[in-house]
Amino acid sequence: MKPRISPTAVERSLGDDDFIVTKTDAKGRILYANRIFIALSGYTEAELLGSQHNIIRHPDMPRTVFKLLWDHIAAGQEFIGYVKNMAKDGSFYWVLATVTPDRNAERSILGYTSVRRKPRREAVAAAAALYREMAAAEAAAGAARAIEAGTAVLMKALNGRGYEQFVLAL
């Protein structure tokens, strides 16, 4: 079960040469976390292993982005996106995440590998502004229509481009 943590205004940051690496099973439970992830998240390795990856989900993140992520990776596609995560102490950090399906010899998806790096500040500002608008639309629409409302905001902002094109253009 995800712990109840109150977000703070304290921002953490990856080093310029740091990479976060995690591996999960097909349900999103953490199987491996590198030392940088453990340190930045504030959780112990024992707290992370076996936990759902959403243990670090920041409430500012629109649900629509995670729906897009899961749609991509469940279909066997790579996902690239900006994500705001929350550490155990409520602080936050932004990452540019690349999530790739891990497959067995029969090409079935066994789980996922996620590699995250430090994003550019300008990109974070653009993603944060879009995500605030999406999250507001989701909240106004209510739980049953949140994804639909967030998607409408995203599609308008993308103006015919794909999400990955938007991310890579930042």
Dump the DSSP string for 17-62: T-EEEEEEETTSBEEEE-HHHHHHH---HHHHTTSBGGGGB-TTS-
pTM for the model: 0.94
The confidence band for 20, taking pLDDT boundaries of 50, 70 and 90, is very high
Residue 97 pLDDT more than 90?
yes
Q: What is the pLDDT of residue 98?
A: 98
Is there a domain that residue 6 lies in? no
23: CATH:
3.30.450.20
- Total domain count for the chain? 1
The confidence band for 170, taking pLDDT boundaries of 50, 70 and 90, is confident
Is there a domain that residue 46 lies in? yes
Residue 15 pLDDT more than 70?
yes
Q: Residue 42's domain spans which residues?
A: 19-169
pLDDT digits (tens, 9 = 90+) for 106-159: 999 999 999 999 999 999 999 999 999 999 999 999 999 999 999 999 999 999
